[in-house]
Amino acid sequence: MGTAIAGLGLYKKTPRTSFGVFASVLKARLIIISRYKGSLIMELFMPIVFAALPIMLGVSLASGGTPVAENWKISSGTADFRAFMLIGACTFSVVSLMTWLVGFWVRREMVTGTLESVWVTPAKKYLVIGGVTGYALIRAFTAFIISFLIGSLIFGVNPFQGNILIAVLFIMIGLLPLWGISFMFGALILKVKEANSLINMLQWVLAFFMGVYFPVTVLPGFLRYVALSFPPTWMTNGVRASLLEVGYFFEHWYIDLAIIFVFAAVVPLLGYMVFMRTEKRLKKNQGMGLY
């Protein structure tokens, strides 16, 4: 402990200290959000509201004599449009939270003037970002489970139908590419700064292409390929297929899961690379902390 690592002050890079950095950031974020209980409750009800809007439309059409369930089955493979919408809205909430929480963390640190200070600490940046994204993962996954259960109760959906284990696997693995996407959002915020509306818009782009309210198979040719290049599309369809048996893109769950694995291996690395490149460029020019 006598000599410090060059350039790192008294910080000594060991697995224990590395985990300490990760855990401290994670803990700090969790403590901060625990002070905003209203936001947490709101977060749980948001996907339910999103699901409610098209469900209500479907219900009213059905009560008017339109064979809504039959029509929905023809296009999606299931007559249970309520469950279909609820799963879509809950997975969208996961995507939205992951991208927003990481992106907004960068912005918040900029606004409060602490981004540069965080950056000059001798801790590895990927550990700091890892802590933030780990926090986002915990929050998003918890929100998904609770929202889905409450939504199921409200809309009369059986939450325990289908193969739950495979559905959980799709969510868990599907969250990893989101990690990478959230890095890219973080990079975008570093560059554009006041990017709230841009992030909002990009979230709706994701919502559109991941098929929150409809199966992506109804999209015209080119748009369908664009949709399939988004990892969240695979996650959403994987969860729906395992719970509602709407059919996997490649017929078997393990092939779809393998595709998500590929995304999970490539997208986080790509995202981190984009983030670090943006950061490097900024450091060479105006600096990181500029509001």
Q: Which residues bind another protein (CB under 8 A)?
A: 36, 38-39, 42, 45-46, 49, 52-54, 56-61, 63-64, 66-68, 70-72, 74-76, 81, 85, 192, 194-198, 200-201, 204-205, 207-208, 212-214, 218-219
> Are 102 and 189 spatial neighbours (Cβ–Cβ below 8 Å)?
no
Q: Nearer to another protein by C-beta: 42 or 255? A: 42
Q: Say which DSSP state 220 is in.
A: -
Distance (Å) of CA 26 to CA 63, 136, 137: 48, 9, 10
Q: Is there a contact between 25 and 135 (Cβ–Cβ < 8 Å)?
A: yes
Compare residues 212 and 288 and give the one whose CB is closer to another protein.
Answer: 212
Q: Least Å distance between CB 227 and another protein? A: 12
Least separation, in Å, of the C-beta of 216 and another protein? 10
Q: How far apart are the first and last CA of the chain?
A: 38
Give the separation between CA 84 and CA 248, rounded to whole angstroms: 14
CA distances from 280 to 119, 189, 195 (A): 12, 14, 19
Q: How far is the CB of 75 from another protein (least distance, A)?
A: 5
30-34-35 Cα angle (round to 5)? 125
Smallest gap from Cβ 245 to another protein, in A, equals: 18
Other Cβ atoms less than 10 A from the Cβ of 48: the count is: 21
Taking the least distance from each CB to another protein, the nearer of 48 and 123 is 48
CA 156-162-166 angle, to 5 degrees, is 125
**13 or 224, CB closer to another protein?**
224
Shortest approach of another protein to residue 72 CB, angstroms?
6
Nearer to another protein, 26 or 147 (CB): 147
One-letter amino acid of 264: A
Nearer to another protein, 22 or 213 (CB): 213
**Which residues 6+ apart lie within 8 Å of 10 measured at CB?**
4
Write down the least CB distance from residue 1 to another protein, Å. 42
Q: Which helix (H) or strand (E) holds 234?
A: helix 231-244
Q: How far is the CB of 9 from another protein (least distance, A)?
A: 34
Q: Which CB, 52 or 166, lies closer to another protein?
A: 52
* Contact between 157 and 249 (Cβ < 8 Å): no
Return d(Cα 168, Cα 149) in angstroms, integer: 14
Q: Return the number of the residue (28 or 61) whose C-beta is nearest another protein.
A: 61
Q: Tell the smallest beta-carbon distance from residue 202 to another protein (Å).
A: 8
